[in-house]
Structure 1
Amino acid sequence: MPPSIHPVDLVAALRQKHLTPAIVFLTSRRACDEAMDSFDHADVVLPPARQDQIAAALERVIAQFPSIAEHPLIDTVKRIGVAAHHAGHLPSWKIAVEELMRQGCLDAVFATTTLAAGVDFPARTVVITQSSIRKSRDFTDLTIGEVQQIAGRAGRRGKDQVGFAIITPSPYIDLGVLTKGLTGHPEAIDSQFTITYPMVLNLLKAHPHEQIQAILAKSFAQFQLNQRAELLERKLDDIHAQLEPYGPRVCTDWITQWQTFDQARRQKSPRHQIRREEAPEVSARFHFLTPGRVVGLTRGRGIVLRQYRSKGQKNPMVTVLRPDGAVTECPATTVTDVFDRVFDCEETSTYPWCTAESFDALSHQLTELPGRLPVLPILVSKDAEPLPDAIVQSLGDFPCPTCPSRPACQKDFALASRLRQEQQRHMKSIQALRTSLWHRFQERVEVLQQFGYLTPHGQLTAEGEWARLIRIDHSLLITELIRAEAFSGADPAVLTGVMASIAHDDDRPGAFPRISTGLSSLLGQVRKLAESLSPYEDPPLLRGDVAALAERWIAEPALTWIGLCRLTTMAEGDIYRLLARTLEFLSQIHTLKATHPSLAESAAKAIALIRRGVLEELP
């Protein structure tokens, strides 16, 4: 395949073919910035009339958003008629680019795929230069939905009779991914509904405890869970039909009776038995790790080919097919997620534990899996099921040796037992799906009762009344910090630094200003408390370097936005989002004026100091 087209040549070709304005989707922010840099020495410039049109449009936008007056890309935008648009830019700059595009001033915009969703930003042409996207620190293939979102930007209503989606050559592009994206059905929408501690407090404030289960049952999340349960119920009906030929015999439950008899017959002397000590979570999960099940592992995902117990120790083990085609043996404890997705797997008794046709089909299906899969909720019994001291004292306790049904039981047991186990798995899954939201709600209630925000009867305590006003991420950590008076005497700059460290969720490295002694000491206390709360709430990153940046913005009111950006290698768009999110956290604390007036006043001072410069331009 030929190398990628140079950005200058690409824009020239689009202009020649009358395919402008165009949005060129690139893999990363850096790729967008490098594309803009390539025009610094370009010979082709716009006619003076076009340049004047762009300059006039920019003046109108700059009058509304003065912060972009010195933006380094303005000269290229005026001279060439191209711009860049990605999350590393200020919101005001992105608004300016969008406005210039709507007015027909630009011929091309280099953007990341974040532009494809959530923004009314059409063009005559979209240019797809990639089949993967950078997420966190890894590249993953574009999903069908993302490809269709990108292609959907082609064509302006009322201006173009047809839109064009162009795929440019690249040595790193996978046409199969894009073909599937353009012709396939988008992935199903998955509810992102989560039950948080503030939600529980506010629900119990507004409704009696006995009404909340019915409220949760009306959510879209429960609707999706019910759909998955209904699918399993249809499978359960099929299994029930398959079990009908193995109906009751002399024993009402002959499958259990024969299994107990067979175990007693094979049972060895007690001194040779190995006692298994397994965590309840592992035991509950192992029941669902059947051939064909898609599972999440500590590294990546895979499909279970078989389950067994290791010799000697009898630890639960699984054989897993990996995306690279490798078949690995690993303990069941390495399984992190059990997904609600099972493929047909024709088992065999020899490696690779399934037929060649099944192996090829599973390998293909594994590579075709969407990025997100619904996780199967598995209920773990709090009380471990006691093991019997001995299955039986003697075989004479069973009628099986002289029972007339014995030959039929012995012949049919293997298949009937497998169907029974599958039936039980589906029944447990259905129960978990139908009640998982309610169980999560109950778990949150128990934690809030443990920490004193709720009474044993589910009523809000005095602390629960003000804690329900903190409706942000890591709410339990923040309310516990307030109860511990960790912010007592903290000035607005230190308070802002702590809130910024809690709000920030990006571990991207960079250069930052040095942290002050007071903020460093307080962050040490916050880390200890966050670690103690980890069983109840995922701890934040609590980066001291990021906290120092927010602290500096508050501690030095004369510091300009450009000066702040020079203190770090962080992109200014990321700095803006950090401070905007910190502002949201401080606003929540400011609502505690009635119960914590001193802390609320400190938050109010911090809010006033944050909202200056760039942060005054947008609501």
Structure 2
Amino acid sequence: MPPSIHPVDLIAALREKSLTPAIVFLTSRRACDEAMEAFDHAHTVLPPVRQAAIAAALERVIAQYPSIAEHPLIPTVQRIGVAAHHAGHLPSWKIAIEELMRQGCLDAVFATTTLAAGVDFPARTVVITQSSIRKARDFMDLTIGEVQQIAGRAGRRGKDYVGFAVVTPSPYIDLEVLTKGFTGNPEAIDSQFTISYPMVLNLLKAHPHEQIQAILAKSFAQFQLNQRANLLEGKLDTLHTQMEPFGPRVCTDWITQWHTFDQARRQKPHRHQIARHESPEVTARFHFMTPGRVVGLNKGRGIVLRQYRSKGQKSPMVTVLRSGGAVTESPAGIVTDVFDRLFECQEQPGYPWCTPESFDELLYQLTELPTRLPLLPILVSKESELIPDAIVQSLGDFPCPTCSSRPACQKDYLVASRLRQEQQRHIKSIQALRASLWHRFQERIDVLQKFGYLSPTSHLTDDGEWARLIRIDHSLLITELIRAEAFAGADPAVLTGVMASIAHDDDRPGAFPRVSTGLSSLLGQVRKLAESLSPYEDPPLLRADIAAVAERWVSDPSLTWIGLCRSTTMAEGDIYRLLARTLEFLSQLHTLRATHPGLADSASRAIALIRRGVLEELP
């Protein structure tokens, strides 16, 4: 395959074929910036009339957003009629580019895929230069929905009779991914509804405890869970039909009876029974790690080929098919997620534990899995379940040796046992799906009662009354910091730094200003508390270097935006989002005027100091 087309040549070709204005989608911010740099030495410039039109349009935007008056890309945009648009830019600059595009001033915009959704930004042509994008430091194939969102930008209503989606050659493009994206159906919408501590407090403030289960049952999340449960109930009906030939016999539960008898007669005399020491979470998950089950691992995903217990310690083990065809034997504890996706797996007694045809099919299915899969809700028992295979020492305790049904039981046991295990798994899955939201709600109640935000009767305590106003991420950590008076005496700059470190969720490396002694000391206390709360709430990153950026902006009112940007390698769009999100967190503290006036006052002063310059231009 030939190398990627040079940006200058690409735009020239689009202009020649009358395919402008165009949006050129690239893999990263850096690729967009490098594409713009490629025009620094280009000889093709716009006619003076078009340059004047761009200058006039920019003047109108600058009057509303003065922060972009000295933007370094203005001369290039005005000279060649091409711009870049990505998350590293200020919102005001992106608004300016969008306005220039709407007015027909630009021939092309180099953008990341974040432009594909959520912005009214059409063009005559879209150019797709990649089949994967960077997500959380890894490159992942574009989903069907993402490909269709990108292609959907082609064609301007009222201006174009047809839109064009152009795929450029590249050594890093997979045409199968794009073909599937253009022709396939978008991935199903998956509810992102989560039950947070503030939600629990506010629901209990507004409704009696006994009414909330009915409220949760009306949510879209529960609707989706019910749909998945209905599918399993259909499979359960089929299993009941398959179990009918193995109907009632002499024993009420002949399958369990035969299982115990068979183990007893095989048991070696005086064999030491090894106690199992595994967490309730692993025990609950292990029940569902059957052949064909899709599971999440520390790195990537896989499909279970076999589940068993090790010979020595009786530890739960799984054999997993991973991407690339690798088959690994690992403790069941490596499984981080159990997905609600099960493929047909034709088992066999030896490696790789399934037939060659089934192996090839599972490997293909693994590569075709969508980016997002629904998790299988698994209810974890608070009490240890009894091990069902306890061995009875005396064979005389069993009626099996003289029972008339013994030949039939011995013949049918393997098939009937497998069918019943499938029944039990489906029953447990259905129960988990039907009760998942309510179970998570109850878990949150238990935590809030433990920390004193709720009474034993699930009524809000005095602390619960003000804690319900903190409706942001890491709310439990923030409310516990307030109760511990960690912010007592903290000036606005230090408070801002701590809130910024809690709000920030990106671990991208870079160079940052030095953190002050006071902020460093307070962050140490915050880390200790966050670690102690980790069983109840995922801790934030709490990066001191990020906190120093926000602290410096508040502590030095004379510092300009350009000066702040020069003190760090963060892109100015990232700095803007950091401060904007920090403002959101501080505004939550500002609502506590009635119960914590000192903290609310400090938050109010911090908000006033943050909202200057660039941060005054947008709401």
TM-score by length of 1: 0.99
Distance 2:607 2:422 in 1: 57
Are 2:593 and 2:601, in contact at CA under 8 Å, matched by a contact in 1? yes
SS at the partner of 1:536? Answer: coil
Q: Specify whether residues 387 and 131 from structure 1 end up closer, same or farther in structure 2 by C-alpha distance, changes over 3 A only.
A: closer
Shift in Å at residue 261 of structure 1? 1.6
Distance 2:563 2:471 in 1: 33
Distance 1:597 1:275 in 2: 56
Q: Specify whether residues 502 and 383 from structure 1 end up closer, same or farther in structure 2 by C-alpha distance, changes over 3 A only.
A: same
After superposition, what is the alpha-carbon deviation per residue over 1:376-396, rounded to whole angstroms, capped at 9, x for unaligned? 111111111234896434222
Distance 1:389 1:166 in 2: 62
After superposition, what is the alpha-carbon deviation per residue over 1:285-318, rounded to whole angstroms, capped at 9, x for unaligned? 1111111000111121100111112222221111
Provide the residue aligned with 1:361 in structure 2: 361
Distance 2:389 2:165 in 1: 70
Provide the residue aligned with 1:487 in structure 2: 487
After superposition, what is the alpha-carbon deviation per residue over 1:216-235, rounded to whole angstroms, capped at 9, x for unaligned? 00111111111111111111
SS at the partner of 1:294? Answer: strand
Matching residue's letter, 1:584: E
Matching residue's letter, 1:166: V
Distance 1:525 1:135 in 2: 32
SS at the partner of 1:518? Answer: helix
Distance 1:202 1:274 in 2: 48
SS at the partner of 1:371? Answer: coil
Provide the residue aligned with 2:399 in structure 1: 399
Are 2:260 and 2:390, in contact at CA under 8 Å, matched by a contact in 1? no
Q: Specify whether residues 389 and 32 from structure 1 end up closer, same or farther in structure 2 by C-alpha distance, changes over 3 A only.
A: closer
2:422 counterpart of 1:425: no
Shift in Å at residue 265 of structure 1? 1.7
Provide the residue aligned with 2:277 in structure 1: 277
2:475 counterpart of 1:475: yes
Q: Write out aligned runs for 1:454-469 (5 A).
A: 454-469=454-469
2:523 counterpart of 1:523: yes
Shift in Å at residue 277 of structure 1? 2.0
After superposition, what is the alpha-carbon deviation per residue over 1:181-210, rounded to whole angstroms, capped at 9, x for unaligned? 111111111111100000000000000000
Provide the residue aligned with 1:312 in structure 2: 312
Bigger mean CA deviation after superposition, 276-285 or 236-245: 276-285
Provide the residue aligned with 1:2 in structure 2: 2
SS at the partner of 2:385? Answer: coil
Distance 2:270 2:494 in 1: 64
Percent of residue pairs identical: 85
Q: Write out aligned runs for 1:207-606 (5 A).
A: 207-387=207-387, 391-606=391-606
Matching residue's letter, 2:333: T
2:24 counterpart of 1:24: yes
Matched residue count? 619
Provide the residue aligned with 2:611 in structure 1: 611
After superposition, what is the alpha-carbon deviation per residue over 1:491-529, rounded to whole angstroms, capped at 9, x for unaligned? 000000000000000000111110001111111111111
Shift in Å at residue 274 of structure 1? 2.3
Q: Specify whether residues 224 and 388 from structure 1 end up closer, same or farther in structure 2 by C-alpha distance, changes over 3 A only.
A: closer
Matching residue's letter, 1:593: R
SS at the partner of 1:83? Answer: strand
Q: Specify whether residues 421 and 388 from structure 1 end up closer, same or farther in structure 2 by C-alpha distance, changes over 3 A only.
A: closer
SS at the partner of 2:324? Answer: coil
Bigger mean CA deviation after superposition, 278-287 or 7-16: 278-287
TM-score by length of 2: 0.99
Q: Specify whether residues 362 and 259 from structure 1 end up closer, same or farther in structure 2 by C-alpha distance, changes over 3 A only.
A: same
Distance 1:277 1:81 in 2: 67
After superposition, what is the alpha-carbon deviation per residue over 1:364-416, rounded to whole angstroms, capped at 9, x for unaligned? 00000011111111111111123489643422222211111111110000000
Matching residue's letter, 1:482: I
Q: Unaligned stretches of 5+ in structure 2?
A: none
SS at the partner of 2:336? Answer: strand
Provide the residue aligned with 1:98 in structure 2: 98
Distance 1:110 1:300 in 2: 31
SS at the partner of 1:600? Answer: helix
Matching residue's letter, 1:460: L
Shift in Å at residue 271 of structure 1? 4.0
Matching residue's letter, 1:589: L
Distance 2:139 2:563 in 1: 33
Matching residue's letter, 1:370: P
Q: Write out aligned runs for 1:80-95 (5 A).
A: 80-95=80-95
Are 2:260 and 2:389, in contact at CA under 8 Å, matched by a contact in 1? no
Bigger mean CA deviation after superposition, 501-510 or 396-405: 396-405
Distance 1:91 1:329 in 2: 49
Bigger mean CA deviation after superposition, 303-312 or 217-226: 303-312
Distance 1:393 1:345 in 2: 36
Matching residue's letter, 1:156: R
Matching residue's letter, 2:193: F
Matching residue's letter, 2:199: M
Shift in Å at residue 165 of structure 1? 0.2
Distance 2:330 2:37 in 1: 49
Distance 1:269 1:457 in 2: 53
Distance 2:488 2:170 in 1: 58
Provide the residue aligned with 2:180 in structure 1: 180
Distance 2:440 2:390 in 1: 37
After superposition, what is the alpha-carbon deviation per residue over 1:23-66, rounded to whole angstroms, capped at 9, x for unaligned? 00000000000000001111111111111111111100000000
2:179 counterpart of 1:206: no
Matching residue's letter, 2:250: V
SS at the partner of 2:594? Answer: coil
Shift in Å at residue 479 of structure 1? 0.5
CA RMSD of aligned residues (A): 1.0
Matching residue's letter, 2:84: A
Are 2:20 and 2:124, in contact at CA under 8 Å, matched by a contact in 1? yes
Shift in Å at residue 8 of structure 1? 0.5
Distance 2:604 2:289 in 1: 53
Q: Specify whether residues 388 and 511 from structure 1 end up closer, same or farther in structure 2 by C-alpha distance, changes over 3 A only.
A: closer
Distance 2:341 2:271 in 1: 41
Matching residue's letter, 2:432: A
Shift in Å at residue 356 of structure 1? 0.9
Q: Specify whether residues 292 and 49 from structure 1 end up closer, same or farther in structure 2 by C-alpha distance, changes over 3 A only.
A: same
Matching residue's letter, 1:104: G
Distance 1:543 1:391 in 2: 54
Distance 1:390 1:165 in 2: 65
After superposition, what is the alpha-carbon deviation per residue over 1:430-457, rounded to whole angstroms, capped at 9, x for unaligned? 0001001001000000100000100000
Distance 1:72 1:290 in 2: 58
Q: Write out aligned runs for 1:134-213 (5 A).
A: 134-213=134-213
Shift in Å at residue 259 of structure 1? 1.3
Shift in Å at residue 276 of structure 1? 2.2
After superposition, what is the alpha-carbon deviation per residue over 1:339-365, rounded to whole angstroms, capped at 9, x for unaligned? 110001111111111111111110000
Shift in Å at residue 487 of structure 1? 0.5
Distance 2:48 2:390 in 1: 94
Shift in Å at residue 256 of structure 1? 1.5
Distance 1:273 1:468 in 2: 51
2:72 counterpart of 1:72: yes
Shift in Å at residue 2 of structure 1? 0.5
